[in-house]
Homo-oligomer: A and B are copies of this chain.
Amino acid sequence: MIIQKTENSRISTFDPNNFSFGGTFIDHMIICEYENGKWGDVKLVPYGPIPFTPAMMGVNYGQACFEGMKAYKDKDGQVFLFRPEKNFERINKSAKRLAMPEVTEEMFLDGLKALVDIDRDWIPQGEGMSLYIRPLIFATEEALKARVSEKYMFAIVATPAKSYYSEPVSVKISDHYSRAANGGVGSAKAAGNYAASFYPTQLAIEEGYEQIIWTDDATHEYFEESGTMNVFVRINDTIYTPPTSEKILDGVTRDSFLQLAKKRGIEVKVEPIPVKTVIEAQKNGTLKEVWGVGTAVVTTVFQALGYQGEKLALPKLSDADSYAATLKKDLVDLQNNLSEDPFGWRVVVDHALETV
């Protein structure tokens, strides 16, 4: 790895109590370029612009995929990543589906650790605070031909992330728009999947909802995801979530919730969730909770489901009664080194670059 430390650190301008999540960038980034059939040197360099023309294939043909993950700082200042190997596996799954070159462990995991290590001062401390990390791969060849690019960039950029409590939201069960096709790219964290979701979400907002529960594109009879999150439904005391598939993202938070639920002895069923079943359960009072999970907010709890023009209210549960809140706390405590880690999910980021 080639390391070029910044000579103009911006850390003195960073106020951990007052910053914009997503728009504040740490001092460094990882970049690595692919050309002539192979990846070049992994470089840790100052965060900043790189020249691209509007003929860059990444913005013309959409070969671009990413990961979202976090680093956490405990009360002693120790820094941890959370299950980074899951993101490493998934970015390569996404890359394969988009006909992009896979990245190596050195690029992804070593790059990640070096970046988090060198910029560990940017990680805010305290409940729910973290560093949000964005590894991505995108096509960089300058060419106007609708074919696979011959040049790519792998990069890791990061922004400090606030603790944010997410208010319960109302979600519309989609009856027209969809997120993924059979035989499509729904299971990949493909850039284009996000762009495709914005307009339907805007329409749902105009109808008085905050998010969409995506359903299958052919019949709209089954739950797929909610917003940019995996979806969970609790009927009586059983938790349901759809199985991952080529249409449903294999979420790290989803998998962690499943394991944490099992550890607590909560009954979990990974099976298709018919919209009809959820609506019936709402009508007969057995529907207890519906929520989404993802890296950014961990959990968003739903207070109402929009279906066929009706807004169906969900019960308000106390944190003690809510599986969503209980499992969120289990996860966040584990991530922040406030509890045991029987799964081996925490990965300490060693001090390795201090003498550089």
Contacts and interface: CB of A to CB of B under 8 A. Distances in A.
Interface of A: 21-23, 25, 29, 31, 47-55, 58-64, 66, 96-99, 132, 134, 136, 138-139, 142-148, 153, 155, 157, 159, 174, 176-185, 190-196, 198-200, 202, 217-218, 228, 296
B48 A53 contact: yes
A47 to B, nearest CB: 7
27 contacts: A23-B143, A23-B145, A25-B55, A52-B52, A53-B157, A54-B136, A54-B153, A60-B194, A61-B194, A62-B192, A62-B193, A97-B196, A98-B195, A98-B198, A99-B199, A139-B195, A178-B181, A178-B182, A178-B183, A178-B184, A181-B182, A184-B217, A185-B195, A190-B195, A191-B192, A192-B196, A218-B218
A177 B246 CA distance: 10
A143 B23 CA distance: 5
Contacts of A58: 58-59
B51 A195 contact: no
Given A50-B53, A185-B196, A198-B98, A146 B180 contact: no
A32 to B, nearest CB: 11
B183 A159 contact: no
A228 B146 contact: yes
A92 B58 CA distance: 20
A70 to B, nearest CB: 12
Given A49-B51, A64-B59, A193 B191 contact: no
Number of copies: 2
A200 to B, nearest CB: 7
A188 to B, nearest CB: 8
A196 B153 contact: no
A71 B25 CA distance: 43
B191 A157 contact: no
Given A178-B183, A217-B218, A198 B66 contact: no
A136 B60 contact: yes
Given A54-B138, A157-B53, A183 B174 contact: yes
A49 B53 contact: yes
Given A52-B50, A157-B53, A191 B148 contact: no
A350 to B, nearest CB: 25
A182 B178 CA distance: 7
A136 B192 CA distance: 15
A147 B134 CA distance: 15
B192 A54 contact: no
B22 A145 contact: yes
A182 B217 contact: yes
A217 B246 CA distance: 12
Contacts of A142: 23, 25
Highest count of chain B CB atoms <10 Å: which of A58, A181, A217: A181
Contacts of A144: 22-23, 132, 134, 157, 159
